[in-house]
Amino acid sequence: MVQLRVNGRSAQVNVGATLLDAAKAVGVHIPTLCYHPCLPAHAVCRMCLVELDGVVRPQPACITQAKAGDVVVTDSQDLQDFRKRNTQWLLARHPNACRDCEVNGACRLQQLIGEDSWDIDWGYVPRGSIHHPEHSLIDHTSPSIWRDLSKCVECGLCAEACGASGQQQYVIGFAERGSERLPVTVFDLPLADTPCISCGQCTLVCPVGALIETPHWHTVLHTLDTRMRVSAVQVAPATRVAIGEEFGMEPGTVSTGQMIHALRLLGFDYVFDTNFAADVTVMEEATELLERLKGTEHLPLFTSCCPGWVNWVEIHRSDLLPHLSTTKSPQQMHGALTKRTGFTAALGPEFANGKAEPYVVSVMPCTAKKDEAQRPGISGDIDHVLTTRELARMIKARGIAFAALSGEDSFDRPLGESTGAAQIFAASGGVMEALLRTAAHLRGHDKTLALEWHQLRGVAQGIKVAEVPGIGKVAVCNGIAAAQGMLATQTWRDAYVAIEVMACVGGCLGGGGEPKSIDPLILEKRMSATYALDKVAPKRCAHENPDVLALYATQLDGPNSVKARALLHTHYAA
């Protein structure tokens, strides 16, 4: 342990800890802009400069290791003056347009200004466009991600999250030097023309409004306000274990009831559960796996519910397309079931024969789901996709006191009933575990095989493996970088019968549309909450869902039937 003093307080931290860690340990706040606990620190914003006894120049607390006997001052008048000048410099390059910004109220730069009662002169001089007009500052080409580089504070976190420290997609990198430095895309292309997989990890770490999800919430709110259409919303498994963070709840709090209640207050006529469709996905995909296991073709089967992963295969490895499960993702399945089955017909004669359609919205922890909803062949089943963050914005915009709402509300039927197997879709390894539960049942092994597959759980980036008696060896790739590494070899071809890939580390609960967090344990907390929901679920296997069984019996002729394939399966583009 290392002993030091911070602002006169005695601090004790582990060897290797930084001055920022030491300050946190004794409750001293140091402002930061470019720091994120899960990414390498580059100390570019200089906001965290502190004075160190015996050292002439102030040092960045985020990268300076604490040494025994250090005497640290974090808030002298000189430091305060410097932070004010530094902020002034940032604002001179940042549009004065907070009122219209998508992250208004959730921006770290705005917080810095708000924390101190500085009399700041906000004179904005657009940069880049003067000296380097070739860099387009605003890019709305992607269905999932919007860029506005005029708001960028050059922290570099997006390049880290997309590159070596995260997704290893290297879509974003820096161009120019000095005050003209900008994070641009490969060859400065519009994002839609790059190999971006729409995972949104860059938006998750952007401290300002330079990278955001393509916003749909204004249109959704407007459509609900008009009350001109019957509306239905579905909510992803990973949203309920994270949305509470936006309202000051402890990370890992499950707020399903409050979320449903808030959706009703926003004006949705039906509040359904994506988990219902996740159970249907399990039925279809487990049946598909067992069919493929009768032969040798297109094995291993790859899961396909993660659109970031599907994008990656289509962009980089079209040779793998035959291995992807053709089963639609739960989002798309739910959309098809809502718009094109007995539910719609039951809404009334004006909905018969497709004359009118309900307005269908999904709430997802994922930015790539916006892109998925527009895929050729399946577009139209979901009208708009909101991220978890966008739903929180809508709730705040309507002044709904989320945390004070009753947690008693529950999903509507028939598209709202689900099992624990569906809930664990939120976590890396969960889709595979849910599949194994039902595949084992269909094979008649469910009395002998375990329900829980702990080898496939956990947040650590990499590959998880399990040998499943009667089925074969399966793998889980936690994050697109892990999948990319595995697929660069040939060993996977004969090693596994099925492989789950989730583009974001942790699975959907680490998705690019989830609340932004600088808690280094955030994934563990959301994951514990997810498995706890499964543990107490009255039914824990997809094939036990009574409404799913009823759907197959009354409308679909069973899993993988001609009707089921027409409604619930898709294809991919080479």
- DSSP H/E element including 392: helix 388-397
Question: What's the rounded Cα separation, in Å, for the pair 502 and 317?
Answer: 16
Contact pick of 143, 252, 330, 429 for ligand HC1 (by CB under 6 A): 330
Closest distance to ligand HC1 from the beta carbon of 363 (Å): 9
CB count within 10 Å of CB 45 equals 25
- Contact predicate 21/66, CB 8 Å: yes
Question: What's the rounded Cα separation, in Å, for the pair 230 and 104?
Answer: 31
Question: Which tokens belong to 211?
Answer: 């990278």
Q: Is 172 in the site for ligand SF4 (CB under 6 A)?
A: yes
- Which C-beta is closer to ligand SF4: that of 173 or that of 257? 173
Q: Is 161 in the site for ligand SF4 (CB under 6 A)?
A: yes
Between the CA atoms of 191, 192, 196 and 197, what dihedral angle is there, to the nearest 10 degrees?
140
Closest distance to ligand HC1 from the beta carbon of 304 (Å): 9
Contact pick of 13, 17, 23, 197 for ligand SF4 (by CB under 6 A): 197
Q: What share of the chain is helix, strand, coil (3-state, %, to 5)?
A: 40, 15, 45
- Return the range that interacts with ligand HC1 (CB under 6 A); candidates 92-100, 137-145, 167-175, 505-513: 505-513
Bridge partner residues of 175 (DSSP): 182
Closest distance to ligand SF4 from the beta carbon of 146 (Å): 11
Pick what 327 binds: ligand HC1, ligand SF4, none; C-beta below 5 to 8 Å, kind-dependent. none
Question: What's the rounded Cα separation, in Å, for the pair 329 and 556?
Answer: 17
Closest distance to ligand HC1 from the beta carbon of 537 (Å): 14
- Which letter does DSSP use for residue 180 in this model? G
Question: What's the rounded Cα separation, in Å, for the pair 181 and 19?
Answer: 28
Q: Is 523 in the site for ligand SF4 (CB under 6 A)?
A: no
Closest distance to ligand SF4 from the beta carbon of 147 (Å): 9
- Which C-beta is closer to ligand SF4: that of 157 or that of 568? 157
CA-atom Rg of the chain in angstroms = 25
Which DSSP string corresponds to 234-269? EE-TTTTTTGGGGGTPPTT---HHHHHHHHHHHT-S
Closest distance to ligand HC1 from the beta carbon of 234 (Å): 8
Torsion sign across C-alpha atoms 224, 227, 229, 234: positive
Question: What's the rounded Cα separation, in Å, for the pair 468 and 439?
Answer: 10
Pick what 23 binds: ligand SF4, ligand HC1, none; C-beta below 5 to 8 Å, kind-dependent. none
- Which C-beta is closer to ligand SF4: that of 19 or that of 145? 145
- Return the range that interacts with ligand SF4 (CB under 6 A); candidates 45-53, 197-205, 381-389, 537-545: 197-205
CB count within 10 Å of CB 222 equals 9
- Return the range that interacts with ligand SF4 (CB under 6 A); candidates 28-36, 162-170, 418-426, 471-479: 162-170
Closest distance to ligand SF4 from the beta carbon of 508 (Å): 15
Pairing verdict, β 59-60 and 138-139: unpaired
- Contact predicate 148/210, CB 8 Å: yes
Number of H helices, E strands in the chain: 20, 18
Q: Is 426 in the site for ligand HC1 (CB under 6 A)?
A: yes
Contact pick of 141, 169, 325, 331 for ligand HC1 (by CB under 6 A): 331
User: Which residues, 6 or more positions from 491, have their beta carbon under 8 angstroms from its beta carbon?
Assistant: none
Contact pick of 128, 200, 244, 510 for ligand SF4 (by CB under 6 A): 200
- Which C-beta is closer to ligand SF4: that of 167 or that of 325? 167
The mark string for 134-153 relative to ligand SF4 (x by CB under 6 A, - otherwise) is -----------x--------
Contact pick of 141, 167, 331, 438 for ligand SF4 (by CB under 6 A): 167
- Return the range that interacts with ligand HC1 (CB under 6 A); candidates 289-297, 324-332, 442-450, 537-545: 324-332
Pick what 199 binds: ligand HC1, ligand SF4, none; C-beta below 5 to 8 Å, kind-dependent. ligand SF4
Question: What's the rounded Cα separation, in Å, for the pair 241 and 486?
Answer: 30
Question: What's the rounded Cα separation, in Å, for the pair 249 and 426?
Answer: 19
Residue nearest to ligand HC1 (CB): 508
Pick what 306 binds: ligand HC1, ligand SF4, none; C-beta below 5 to 8 Å, kind-dependent. ligand HC1
Site for ligand HC1 in 207-246 (CB under 6 A): 236-238
- Contact predicate 3/12, CB 8 Å: yes
- Which letter does DSSP use for residue 471 in this model? T
Residue 184 DSSP SS3: strand
- Contact predicate 86/116, CB 8 Å: no
Site for ligand HC1 in 369-398 (CB under 6 A): 369
Q: Is 162 in the site for ligand SF4 (CB under 6 A)?
A: yes
Site for ligand HC1 in 294-313 (CB under 6 A): 305-306
Task: Give the orientation angle of helix 388-397 with respect to helix 256-266, to 10 degrees.
Answer: 60
- Which C-beta is closer to ligand SF4: that of 202 or that of 567? 202
Phi, psi of 252 (to 5 degrees): 95, 0
Q: Is 169 in the site for ligand SF4 (CB under 6 A)?
A: yes
Site for ligand HC1 in 508-547 (CB under 6 A): 508, 511
Q: Is 507 in the site for ligand HC1 (CB under 6 A)?
A: yes
Q: Is 206 in the site for ligand SF4 (CB under 6 A)?
A: no
If binding means CB under 6 A, how many residues of this protein chain bind ligand SF4? 14
Peptide bond into 349 cis (omega under 30): no
- Which C-beta is closer to ligand SF4: that of 316 or that of 539? 316
Q: Which residue has the tokens 């624990």?
A: 420
- Contact predicate 362/382, CB 8 Å: yes
What residues make contact with ligand SF4 under the rule CB under 6 A?
A: 145, 161-162, 167, 169, 171-172, 196-202
What residues make contact with ligand HC1 under the rule CB under 6 A?
A: 236-238, 274-275, 278, 305-306, 329-331, 364-366, 369, 425-426, 507-508, 511
